[in-house]
Amino acid sequence: MLLDKDKLLKTFIELVKIDSESKNEIQVAEYIKKRLKKLNIPFVIDNSKNKTGSNHGNIIAKLNNNRSLPTILLSSHMDTVVPGNNIKPIVRNKTVVSSGDTILGADDKSGLAIILETLETLKTNKVNHYNIEAAITTCEEIGLLGAKYLDYKLLKAKEGIVLDSTSPERLVFKGPASDYFSIKIYGVESHSGINPELGISSIIASAEIITKMKTGRINKGTTINIGKIHGGSAINIVPGETVISCEIRSHSESTIEKEINKIKKIIKNVEEKYKKLNNKVRIKFTKERIYDSISIPKNAFIIRKILKVCKSSNYLINLVETGGGADANFFVKNGIETINLGTGMRDFHTKKETLILKEFYQSADIVLKTLIHES
Ligand SMILES: [Zn+2]
């Protein structure tokens, strides 16, 4: 049994034409619900929108088959990054691209199309398949919020596939934890022309911290980024406050601790230097967890099944580590061993975003075959 490729492409094209920048997923949610209703596949909407700020909740659909078989979770997200409105997809050279004014939205409408078509194929062909739960989330692009606030009581699956990555030859089984941290420097404001002597520049103090911090790739599994600096209020005022916003990602909790301690030491040294100068610089450090790391055992059922499918279909596939985060991080946190399979998308989050059709069809074929139970 095979997926209808033309229909899969048609669904993808329909999906990307629907505006759904983060927090505005309502129209694409209506499209999905309409498709599910037509197939008689039951679904519920959770209450996550109160916490995500979206105009719609996550959609959780269930296609049960046989009580004695395990349940597999499928997931992709409804929202896109900006500029994601009024997308005009163009099919060209066995790929799909946007007109160049917007992103394409293959991230993650390619995953959504695969889920919808897989459910339809299984439902209409009456094959023996695993029980399926589809968790279609909102607000992934603004901090995995849909998955973070999903009502996990509604899910039974212990294993899952997120469709939100590049090539279907990549099966992501390991990803880093991510922490946000900020360093807020309080100097002293003064008039820069009349009495600069009374001021202490928070921008200059922050520079002393930044230039001592190690950033970029720290080691194979760890990165640090200084993403934003906000400071000062006018060119004639010695700046009183500066905030440095940063991120650390690592596969290792002990490395996060070690690197954060190094940064705290740098802050302390700068603070002490200013103390000796009899100045009043204060520095406040805060850190918060964005998501935990994931590491799915290589012998997990879902990994074994996908590798087996790929072997018998002659598809190349590799277990890979990622430096990114996805809804899978929250599914894993909630007890669902979830891997991330690529769908054929490239250059996502840019106007050059492309969907490679051969890979898109291959990803869909892997998903469909993984869900079929050979008795
Ligand atoms: Zn995505």
Amino acid at 229: I
Residue 32 and residue 144 in one domain: yes
CATH, residue 240: 3.30.70.360
CATH, residue 11: 3.40.630.10
Domain containing 263 equals: 178-291
Residue 13 and residue 132 in one domain: yes
Q: What are phi and psi of 250, to 5 degrees?
A: -160, 150
User: What's the 111 CA to ligand 1 centre distance in angstroms?
Assistant: 9
| Residue partners of 321: CB distance under 8 A and separation at least 6 | 172, 173, 174, 175, 221, 251
| Residue partners of 28: CB distance under 8 A and separation at least 6 | 15, 18, 19, 20, 78, 112
Task: Give catalytic residue positions.
Answer: 79, 140
Give 46-62 pLDDT, tens digit per residue. Answer: 999 999 999 999 999 99
User: What's the 162 CA to ligand 1 centre distance in angstroms?
Assistant: 10
User: What residues in the chain have per-residue pLDDT under 70?
Assistant: 1
User: Which of 249, 275, 291 lies at the terminal end of a domain, its last residue?
Assistant: 291
Angle in degrees, CA 174, 178, 184, rounded to 5:
165
User: What's the 243 CA to ligand 1 centre distance in angstroms?
Assistant: 29
Neighbours of ion ligand 1 (CB under 5 A): 107-108, 164
pLDDT at 374: 84
Give 271-316 pLDDT, tens digit per residue. Answer: 999 988 877 899 999 999 999 999 999 999 999 999 999 999 999 9
pLDDT at 23: 98
pLDDT at 1: 64
User: Which of 243, 269, 291 lies at the terminal end of a domain, its last residue?
Assistant: 291
User: What's the 295 CA to ligand 1 centre distance in angstroms?
Assistant: 19
pLDDT at 66: 87
User: What's the 78 CA to ligand 1 centre distance in angstroms?
Assistant: 9
Q: How many domains in the chain?
A: 2
Residue 261 and residue 214 in one domain: yes
Residue 226 and residue 272 in one domain: yes
Measured CA to CA, the distance from residue 342 to residue 302 in angstroms comes to 15
User: Which of 270, 291, 312 lies at the terminal end of a domain, its last residue?
Assistant: 291
Q: What is the dihedral sign for C-alpha 190, 192, 197, 202?
A: positive
Give 134-144 pLDDT, tens digit per residue. Answer: 999 999 999 99
Residue 199 and residue 59 in one domain: no
